[in-house]
Structure 1
């Protein structure tokens, strides 16, 4: 795959408090992939997206989109000249315009382009309605259609699922991935939610304090985290020795276990139990599917997965 976006030594420091939002970031995004920046609030991820879009000016570095330098020390293209499109958290639909007019607003798209976008976003038949007449999922599709109709080189999504309740969120997550892949478009997705990142992404970059700590597929960063911060951010762990940690799903309660323990707490999470056990005065977290476990019960356990070392 070719790199559609190249970020080189990108830096941004906010004067107030001298906060570093981007610290010499080097990153590439491949054509056709969904690439996610995953990080907590304040990590710098939204500012990073805004710099690519041209809505925020970096202090240093280069941004290259499809071999065209859109930002450098001597160049800073306007957002409209960067061939990017942004979908914001609140969708920013215009309430007084029809769906068709919302999609084509500010665009030179043809009737054929509109029909194609309506078809692929499953909005055919809704074009004469107004935003308040649509469901949350349909409104998301309108925002996506408006962003895509101009055929941008890259689609930038700024936490579009963050203000949606859990049940609808799962449904919209599926729809969003299907639509992006249907258009075969490159997308940069910004989120603080690990589930969204794991489901949507071809690759993920973990961001913290203005730094990119690790880049890889969901499996790569979960099973082989670069450091303790990445490991903790992506899931629970228990320390089992000096600089040694293990995930709860890699401890198995079983009759032929090597070690003995007593169950201290059991928490039901629907699809599994999270069990807190005490072994040699040390607490360990275990994931189990056993309905018969009881607090105070003596059990045996063994390690059945990779031990992480930092």
Structure 2
């Protein structure tokens, strides 16, 4: 397994990666998630052996991964890291890149090209392929070194929806057929919800929550984690008191918030419901987004029907909510 123990790194007076400890077992899809600047890329580079940690250790199957101060060529043969940008050499045909790098038998290499969906790109140059194709070529160049662990640094951040879906399918095929374990970092929950078995949430260089995507989404540690994994709306104290009177009485000093799926719009008044007016209804892909005004606050929810119209008056009910000491 991959084992990270008390790993830390001082970057500047404004940022440092606090001691972090976690394990990953073979076959586990593990995702690092956090806003830009939370320490995701730094942690990946430490694990890959590209940066020297200040404290702690990284081992892969009980073999310690050395930092760049301990060896001439940074990195570890059992680990490969795919960065946000492919950094492919210019002016080369793609076939030449693999001719120089390939140590596999021809048939195995061709199977890899097919797996990464790049076999049709061999006679093109760097400027003749898209960003998504460059990412898949860079991935194949890493895989041809036969790594056991693959680190992915925001691999979908620069891709359009079509190329993102292709790369997601390629990664699924690669991990299954080549028996490679992946550790992926992202700031977009849509990239990791269906993929990850477990999440590590980073905030300002600190590991603040670990768990399954479902568990963290429904029980976030704080407002940062809640906002990282989906939409939420802070509630005014007056509105929170109406929605959750019993709980609010016990936590008057805390901040309350709800997710869109916690809001229920209805025509008739019920207990704990508040008068609301629909401001607008807009298409949001598969669903419609409904914006409302309630007690001088604007909230939104999503519905699959477009029967609701702007100006409609009714009542809003909150079926659930979160209470945090911070907003």
TM-score range, shorter chain: 0.7 to 0.9
Mean CA deviation greater in 260-269 or 38-47: 260-269
**Would the alpha carbon gap of residues 204 and 62 (structure 1) be closer, same or farther in structure 2, given more than 3 Å must change?**
same
Give the structure 2 partner of residue 277 of structure 1. Answer: 292
**Would the alpha carbon gap of residues 11 and 107 (structure 1) be closer, same or farther in structure 2, given more than 3 Å must change?**
farther
Give the structure 1 partner of residue 203 of structure 2. Answer: 208
C-alpha distance in structure 1 between counterparts of 2:48 and 2:186, whole Å: 16
Q: Which of 54, 59, 65 is residue 60 of structure 2 equivalent to?
A: 65
Shift of 1:99: 2.6
Q: Which of 167, 172, 196 is residue 172 of structure 1 equivalent to?
A: 167
C-alpha distance in structure 2 between counterparts of 1:183 and 1:104, whole Å: 21
Q: TM-score, normalised by structure 2?
A: 0.81
**Would the alpha carbon gap of residues 278 and 33 (structure 1) be closer, same or farther in structure 2, given more than 3 Å must change?**
same
Q: Per the alignment, in what secondary structure is the counterpart of residue 87 of structure 2?
A: coil
Give the structure 1 partner of residue 157 of structure 2. Answer: 162
Mean CA deviation greater in 24-33 or 112-121: 112-121
Q: TM-score, normalised by structure 1?
A: 0.85
Shift of 1:171: 4.2
C-alpha distance in structure 1 between counterparts of 2:118 and 2:299, whole Å: 50
Unmatched segments (≥5 aa) in structure 2? 242-251
Give the structure 2 partner of residue 266 of structure 1. Answer: 280
**Residues matched between the structures, number:** 303
Asked whether the equivalents of residues 54 and 78 of structure 1 are also in contact (C-alpha less than 8 Å), the reply is no
**Would the alpha carbon gap of residues 261 and 170 (structure 1) be closer, same or farther in structure 2, given more than 3 Å must change?**
farther
Shift of 1:80: 4.2
Q: Per the alignment, in what secondary structure is the counterpart of residue 287 of structure 1?
A: strand
Give the structure 2 partner of residue 12 of structure 1. Answer: 9
Unmatched segments (≥5 aa) in structure 1? none
**Would the alpha carbon gap of residues 50 and 245 (structure 1) be closer, same or farther in structure 2, given more than 3 Å must change?**
same
Shift of 1:255: 3.9
C-alpha distance in structure 1 between counterparts of 2:36 and 2:141, whole Å: 27
C-alpha distance in structure 1 between counterparts of 2:73 and 2:85, whole Å: 23
Give the structure 2 partner of residue 114 of structure 1. Answer: 109
After superposition, what is the alpha-carbon deviation per residue over 1:40-93, rounded to whole angstroms, capped at 9, x for unaligned? 111111111111111111110111112111148x96795343421121222122
Q: Per the alignment, in what secondary structure is the counterpart of residue 79 of structure 1?
A: coil
